[in-house]
């Protein structure tokens, strides 16, 4: 028992959480007592004896779990424990529940965790649609409804879409660039373990007095600053999700910039690598803004600062500026990695080089630059100074240009190819082009101030974000999961079940989200538990679509679990792709490569006689270059 | 490479599909009844955008489905496609043409925006007071008479709404007028509209404001100037003093000089 307490792991982690939480409560009690304040402050926004342990408890868990052991020993001048690779690789399923520094294990930890939250958030969507199937309130009351759509959005955005891309890239990207791991494996593990904590804080807010946070995922002040305790759970959950996101993005940046295999110039990087480079540039610079915005809300709530309290000289609208300065780039954080996935899938299954590869990469960088200059298009009716509207409209519409380049280049890639549609990944990639085009079109309409004035905060917005986030991002996520499933698990998934999942998802997406445009334009506001009777029939149809969409995800879940366990063994390169991750076994060896590959050409040289992307160890070994030293392996 | 494609047929298919989609979609009245001078202008912009969007959508569909039909691999064909890496002229075209389309859309939107927000000579000013979860209205030109839950305005006269939120953010939306504006605590925001149809409408709160958000509605009556005068004359109450305190200079279109802000 004593050994279990000393060893990093779950027992020490839970004890650490308890001890740190108790310390947090004690700190509040002592400080309030010294200050002569009543010790238990339970105004709805206060509860310092809950908020402080919500900060210290998770940190205590991370420390106990072993996330900081190496660094703390090093910083304290203690002898560090020599790396014996016991935290590398996974021999049984139990290893996925441990502190592990192997990027492949972390990738799978990310994907499984985020899909858990996807199904929880999806269940909430089902409840929301059940409530909205008819006018009036039947299933949940107004307060619960507000909590449900808020948590649904927050789970999907912060602990599903953003991190699942980090998970896929975690697994694939080091292999793709010929690196043995990420640049900072311990930081990588810490990034992952912060994520479930964020998700638990979001879900745990249902236990708070007053219910879960209910001011929407946007949490506009001053509704959020005056909301019950659950809002603080949101404020803090965002800090953990955000810190996780920033650390991962730094890790990707350093990995991509410094750890590419010899010969892999920037213009020989696969587009998935370009996409994650662009995404990481957005994350490191934009995410601190939402962290700051949520801290300011938390301080207004708990410390009685007055950032967003007009009576105390605060400025209400500044919350929205800071929030959207992150949350618009976040839209691209949730889309660019998907663009990368689609490029890989389409090129491979059309057996064609990417059409206009360099322009594709430059378009990603163009989106990064433009996306910092469009945030106020979320605020056309917010009452901000009115001159900002037209410039932001122009930049917003211009962002359609690089996006259009990507769509047309994917289409161009198909021409004169040999298109194979047997893979579910390719089906999702092709359908993505259609649904994302619709989402893009409604986005251009929303960018136009006069149209936006009418439809802003209506179901048209709900339709648009679901077309780009579900029809866009989630389709690319499915494409990515199916595409790299054989590589990650060493097994093939069932294509027949995959096709059922695909057609059901496509049908469900259209039936659910297309009519939302119509009711929105016709006068139905968003975020309402009850609505005018005239929208009843369309909403019933929308709910039916949503239930189909929800049910068919169970087919996906079944397919993934059963195929992972019992699927036929996968070959190294079932799709006959050219990038490096397919040139190693499925699943890859524990340190990825016996010897770092040498990159000699572009990543998509389909049909070019004699062209090679990379030369692996043991083949074409006429030139031996000295083994490069790579950070993170010592 | 392009020479090997039936470009004329593909363009014809795109135009035909565009025409079919536009014909259906333009004929539908998406935004509902029009009851202000702004409404037809906004709906015209919507229809122009529908046609342009239908063109882009049709182009993508024709390109996609032609490729899927023409270049689908035969069963058992394991060969690769042709090693085409790009085409500079085509890439320039699909950069420039969308740029022109969106810049046109931006210019058109800008002119519509200026048009619908242009101030008329003698507008009626109405104060809008919003609080969880009710609307009320004051008429500063009529001795600050006050109406709870019911807004009356005369037809064919421009109305300037000055909006003042008492607690959290609310948003003022009358779908038939096509205008919307947030009511923000601490500042005064403005919306301009010229109702041009007599009738009864609904004012809807569109910014999530708490538990009663879905039910935060008010009745809007657009009536003849004579009826409006009669209705105003019948208002006995004055705007309560705490609401009067929330009336401030509009900083939305007249930002304070830098340094003059703050508490």
Inter-chain residue contact A411 with B103, CB threshold 8 Å: no
Inter-chain residue contact B85 with A146, CB threshold 8 Å: no
| pLDDT for res A89 | 83
| pLDDT for res B257 | 64
| Same domain assignment for residues B13 and B112 | yes
| pLDDT for res A630 | 47
| Same domain assignment for residues A166 and A58 | no
Could you tell me if residue A615 is inside a domain? no
Average of per-residue pLDDT across A57-62: 97
The two beta strands, A614-615 and A598-599, are antiparallel
Could you tell me if residue A299 is inside a domain? yes
Handedness of CA A155, A157, A162, A168 (dihedral sign): positive
Mutate: best of A525, A604, A611, partner B, most B CBs <10 A: A525
Could you tell me if residue B254 is inside a domain? no
Could you tell me if residue A612 is inside a domain? no
Average of per-residue pLDDT across B197-224: 95
* pLDDT exceeds cutoff 60 at A503: yes
Q: From the CA of B236, how many Å to the nearest CA of chain A?
A: 31
Could you tell me if residue B158 is inside a domain? yes
Tell me if A319 sits within 8 A of A293, measured CB to CB.
yes
**Residue A146 half-sphere exposure, CB side, CA atoms within 13 Å?**
25
Could you tell me if residue B14 is inside a domain? yes
Average of per-residue pLDDT across B141-152: 93
Q: Which residues of B are less than 8 Å from A400 in CB distance?
A: 98, 102
Could you tell me if residue A535 is inside a domain? yes
Q: What is the CATH number of the domain that holds B214?
A: 2.60.40.420
Q: Which residues of A are less than 8 Å from B71 in CB distance?
A: 350, 414-419
Helix axes A357-371, A336-350, angle to 10 degrees: 170
| Same domain assignment for residues B142 and B208 | yes
CA-nearest residue to A392 within chain B is B106
Q: From the CA of B59, how many Å to the nearest CA of chain A?
A: 10
Could you tell me if residue B77 is inside a domain? no
Average of per-residue pLDDT across B171-200: 95
| Same domain assignment for residues A64 and A163 | no
Could you tell me if residue A397 is inside a domain? yes
Instruction: For residue A631, name the pLDDT band (cuts at 50, 70, 90).
Output: very low
pTM for the predicted model, two decimal places: 0.94
| Same domain assignment for residues A418 and A562 | yes
* pLDDT exceeds cutoff 70 at A504: yes
Indicate the range of A32-46, A136-150, A207-221, A324-338 predicted with least confidence.
A32-46
Q: From the CA of A513, how many Å to the nearest CA of chain B?
A: 16
Nearest to B94 among A385, A408, A450 (CB): A408
* b/e sequence A173-198, b meaning 16+ C-beta within 10 Å: bbbbbbbbbbbbbbbbbbbbbbbbbb
* Residues A194-207 pLDDT 10s: 999 999 999 999 99
What is the overall mean pLDDT for chain A?
93
| Single residue among A566, A581, A609 that ends a domain in this structure | A566
Q: From the CA of A526, how many Å to the nearest CA of chain B?
A: 7
| Same domain assignment for residues B147 and B207 | yes
| Same domain assignment for residues A184 and A286 | yes
| Same domain assignment for residues B103 and B132 | no
Nearest to A397 among B102, B181, B215 (CB): B102
What is the overall mean pLDDT for chain B?
92
Inter-chain residue contact A521 with B263, CB threshold 8 Å: no
CA distances to A147, A321, A356, A440 from A539, rounded to whole Å, are 20, 33, 43, 23
Domains contained in chain B, number: 2
CA-nearest residue to B88 within chain A is A356
Number of A/B CB contacts below 8 angstroms equals 261
Could you tell me if residue A634 is inside a domain? no
Mutate: best of A223, A383, A471, A538, partner B, most B CBs <10 A: A383
| Single residue among A56, A75, A94 that ends a domain in this structure | A75
| pLDDT for res A629 | 45
**Euclidean distance between the first and final Cα of chain B, in Å?**
67
* pLDDT exceeds cutoff 50 at A468: yes
Q: From the CA of B231, how many Å to the nearest CA of chain A?
A: 28
| pLDDT for res B263 | 39
Q: From the CA of B150, how many Å to the nearest CA of chain A?
A: 19
Cα separation, A411 vs A342, in Å, equals: 11
Mutate: best of A448, A517, A527, partner B, most B CBs <10 A: A448
Q: Which residues of B are less than 8 Å from A404 in CB distance?
A: 56, 94-95, 98
| Same domain assignment for residues A70 and A180 | no
Nearest to A607 among B57, B73, B81 (CB): B81
| Same domain assignment for residues B16 and B58 | yes
| Same domain assignment for residues B191 and B137 | yes
Q: Which residues of A are less than 8 Å from B82 in CB distance?
A: 352, 416-417, 607
Tell me which residue of B48, B43, B45, B52 sits closest to B18, measured CA to CA: B52
Instruction: For residue A329, name the pLDDT band (cuts at 50, 70, 90).
Output: very high
Instruction: For residue A12, name the pLDDT band (cuts at 50, 70, 90).
Output: very high
| Same domain assignment for residues A6 and A153 | no
Domains contained in chain A, number: 2
Could you tell me if residue A162 is inside a domain? yes
* pLDDT exceeds cutoff 50 at A162: yes
Could you tell me if residue B259 is inside a domain? no
| Same domain assignment for residues A53 and A124 | no
| pLDDT for res A122 | 97
Inter-chain residue contact B68 with A430, CB threshold 8 Å: yes
Could you tell me if residue B251 is inside a domain? no
| pLDDT for res A40 | 85
Inter-chain residue contact B211 with A146, CB threshold 8 Å: yes
Q: Which residues of B are less than 8 Å from A383 in CB distance?
A: 163, 181-184, 187, 189, 252
| Same domain assignment for residues B158 and B48 | no
Cα-based angle A112, A428, A574 (whole degrees, multiple of 5): 75
Inter-chain residue contact B80 with A607, CB threshold 8 Å: yes
Could you tell me if residue B74 is inside a domain? no
Which residue range forms the structural domain that includes residue B61? Answer: 2-69+93-116
| pLDDT for res B256 | 64
* pLDDT exceeds cutoff 50 at A623: no
| Same domain assignment for residues A329 and A462 | yes
Could you tell me if residue B78 is inside a domain? no
Cα separation, B114 vs A450, in Å, equals: 10
| pLDDT for res A454 | 96
For every residue of A321-388, DSSP letters joined together read HHHHHHHHHHHHHTTHHHHHHHHHHHHHHHTSPPTTHHHHHHHHHHHHHHHTT-GGGGGTTTT--GGG
Q: Counting Cβ atoms within 10 Å, is residue B242 exposed (0-12), middle (13-18) or buried (19+)?
A: exposed
* pLDDT exceeds cutoff 60 at A620: no
* pLDDT exceeds cutoff 80 at A169: yes
* pLDDT exceeds cutoff 50 at A39: yes
Q: Which residues of B are less than 8 Å from A527 in CB distance?
A: 208, 213
| Single residue among A35, A60, A75 that ends a domain in this structure | A75
| Same domain assignment for residues B152 and B237 | yes
Please state the ipTM of this predicted complex: 0.94
CA-nearest residue to B43 within chain A is A451
* pLDDT exceeds cutoff 60 at A542: yes
Q: Which residues of B are less than 8 Å from A524 in CB distance?
A: none
Instruction: For residue A182, name the pLDDT band (cuts at 50, 70, 90).
Output: very high
| Same domain assignment for residues B98 and B140 | no
| Same domain assignment for residues B110 and B201 | no
Could you tell me if residue A91 is inside a domain? no
Nearest to B262 among A313, A433, A449 (CB): A313
* Residues A412-442 pLDDT 10s: 999 999 999 999 999 999 999 999 999 999 9
| pLDDT for res B248 | 82
Instruction: For residue B258, name the pLDDT band (cuts at 50, 70, 90).
Output: low
Q: Which residues of B are less than 8 Å from A577 in CB distance?
A: none
Instruction: Tell me if residue A598 falls in helix, strand or coil.
Output: strand
| Same domain assignment for residues B97 and B152 | no
| Same domain assignment for residues B107 and B179 | no
Inter-chain residue contact B112 with A450, CB threshold 8 Å: yes
Q: What is the CATH number of the domain that holds A166?
A: 1.20.210.10
| Same domain assignment for residues A411 and A551 | yes
* pLDDT exceeds cutoff 60 at B262: no
Q: From the CA of A407, how many Å to the nearest CA of chain B?
A: 8
| pLDDT for res A5 | 79
Instruction: For residue A626, name the pLDDT band (cuts at 50, 70, 90).
Output: very low
Which residue range forms the structural domain that includes residue A277? Answer: 103-566
| Same domain assignment for residues A70 and A141 | no
Q: From the CA of B205, how many Å to the nearest CA of chain A?
A: 8
């Amino acid at each position: 028992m004593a050994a279990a307490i000393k060893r990093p792991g779950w027992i020490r982690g839970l004890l650490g959480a308890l001890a740190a939480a108790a310390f947090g409560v004690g700190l509040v009690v002592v400080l309030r007592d010294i200050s002569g304040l009543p010790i238990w402050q339970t105004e709805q926004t206060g509860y310092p004896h809950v908020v402080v342990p919500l900060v210290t408890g998770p940190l205590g868990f991370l420390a106990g779990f072993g996330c900081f052991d190496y660094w703390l020993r090093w910083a304290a001048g203690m002898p560090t424990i020599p790396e014996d690779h016991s935290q590398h690789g996974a021999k049984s399923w139990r290893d996925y529940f441990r502190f592990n520094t192997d990027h492949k294990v972390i990738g799978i930890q990310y994907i499984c965790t985020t899909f858990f939250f996807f199904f929880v958030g999806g269940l909430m969507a089902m409840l929301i649609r059940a409530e909205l199937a008819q006018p009036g309130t039947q299933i949940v009351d107004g307060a619960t409804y507000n909590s449900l759509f808020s948590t649904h959005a927050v789970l999907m955005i912060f602990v599903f879409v953003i991190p699942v891309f980090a998970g896929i890239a975690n697994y694939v990207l080091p292999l793709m660039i010929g690196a043995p791991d990420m640049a900072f494996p311990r930081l990588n593990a810490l990034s992952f373990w912060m994520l479930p904590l964020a998700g638990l804080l979001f879900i745990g807010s249902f236990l708070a007095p007053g219910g879960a946070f209910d001011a929407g995922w946007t949490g506009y002040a001053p509704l959020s600053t005056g909301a019950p305790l659950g809002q603080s759970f949101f404020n803090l959950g965002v800090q953990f999700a955000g810190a996780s996101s920033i650390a991962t993005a730094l890790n990707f940046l350093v990995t991509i910039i410094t750890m590419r295999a010899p010969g892999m110039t920037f213009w020989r990087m696969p587009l998935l690598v370009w996409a994650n480079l662009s995404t990481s540039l957005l994350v490191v610079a934009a995410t601190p803004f939402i962290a700051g915005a949520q801290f300011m809300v938390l301080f207004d709530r708990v410390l009685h600062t007055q950032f967003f309290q007009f009576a105390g000289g605060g400025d209400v609208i500044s919350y929205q500026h800071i929030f959207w300065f992150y949350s618009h780039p976040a839209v691209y954080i949730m889309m660019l990695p998907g663009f990368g996935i689609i490029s890989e899938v389409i090129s491979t299954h059309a057996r064609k080089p990417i059409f206009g590869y360099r322009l594709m990469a430059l378009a990603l960088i163009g989106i990064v630059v433009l996306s910092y200059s469009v945030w106020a298009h979320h605020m056309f009716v917010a009452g901000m100074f009115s001159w900002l509207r037209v410039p932001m409209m122009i930049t917003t519409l211009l962002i359609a240009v690089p996006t259009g380049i990507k769509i047309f280049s994917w289409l161009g890639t198909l021409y004169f190819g040999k298109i194979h549609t047997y893979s579910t990944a390719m089906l999702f990639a092709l359908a993505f082009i259609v649904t994302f085009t619709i989402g893009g079109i409604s986005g251009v309409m929303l960018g136009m101030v006069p149209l936006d004035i009418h439809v802003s905060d209506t179901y048209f917005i709900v339709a648009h974000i679901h077309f780009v986030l579900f029809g866009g991002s989630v389709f690319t996520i499915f494409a990515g999961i199916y595409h790299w499933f054989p590589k990650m698990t060493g097994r093939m998934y069932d294509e027949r079940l995959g096709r059922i999942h695909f057609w059901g998802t496509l049908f469900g997406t259209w039936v659910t989200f297309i009519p939302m445009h119509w009711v929105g334009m016709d006068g139905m506001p968003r975020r309402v538990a009850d609505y005018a009777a005239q929208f009843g029939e369309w909403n019933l149809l929308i709910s039916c679509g949503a239930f189909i969409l929800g049910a068919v995800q169970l087919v996906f879940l079944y397919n993934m679990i059963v195929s992972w366990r019992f699927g036929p063994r996968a070959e190294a390169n079932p799709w006959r792709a050219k990038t490096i991750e397919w040139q190693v076994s499925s699943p890859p060896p524990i340190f990825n490569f016996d010897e770092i590959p040498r990159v000699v050409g572009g990543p998509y040289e389909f049909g070019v006689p004699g062209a090679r992307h990379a030369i692996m160890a043991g083949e074409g070994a006429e030139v031996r270059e000295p083994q490069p030293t790579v950070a993170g392996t010592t | 490479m392009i020479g090997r494609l039936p470009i004329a047929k593909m363009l014809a298919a795109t135009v035909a599909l565009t025409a079919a989609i536009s014909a259906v979609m333009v004929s539908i009245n998406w935004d509902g009844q029009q009851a202000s001078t702004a409404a037809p202008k906004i709906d015209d912009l919507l229809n122009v955008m529908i046609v342009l969007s239908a063109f882009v959508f049709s182009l993508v569909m024709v390109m996609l489905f032609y490729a899927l039909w023409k270049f689908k691999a035969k069963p058992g064909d394991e060969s690769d496609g042709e090693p085409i890496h790009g085409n500079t002229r085509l890439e320039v075209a699909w950069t420039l043409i969308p740029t022109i389309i969106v810049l046109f859309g931006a210019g058109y939107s800008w002119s519509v925006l200026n048009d619908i927000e242009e101030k008329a000579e003698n507008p009626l000013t109405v104060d809008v007071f919003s609080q969880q979860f009710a609307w009320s209205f004051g008429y500063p030109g009529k001795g600050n008479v006050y109406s709870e839950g019911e807004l009356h305005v005369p037809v064919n006269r421009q109305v300037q709404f000055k909006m003042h939120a008492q607690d959290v953010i609310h948003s003022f939306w009358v779908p038939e007028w096509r205008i919307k504006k947030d009511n923000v605590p601490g500042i005064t925001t403005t919306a301009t509209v010229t109702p041009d149809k007599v009738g009864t409408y609904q004012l809807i709160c569109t910014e999530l404001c708490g538990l009663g958000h879905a039910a935060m509605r008010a009745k809007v009556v657009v009536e003849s100037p004579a009826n409006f005068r009669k209705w105003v004359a019948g208002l006995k109450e004055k705007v309560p003093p705490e609401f009067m305190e929330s009336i401030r200079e509009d900083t939305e279109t007249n930002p304070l000089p830098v340094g003059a802000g703050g508490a």
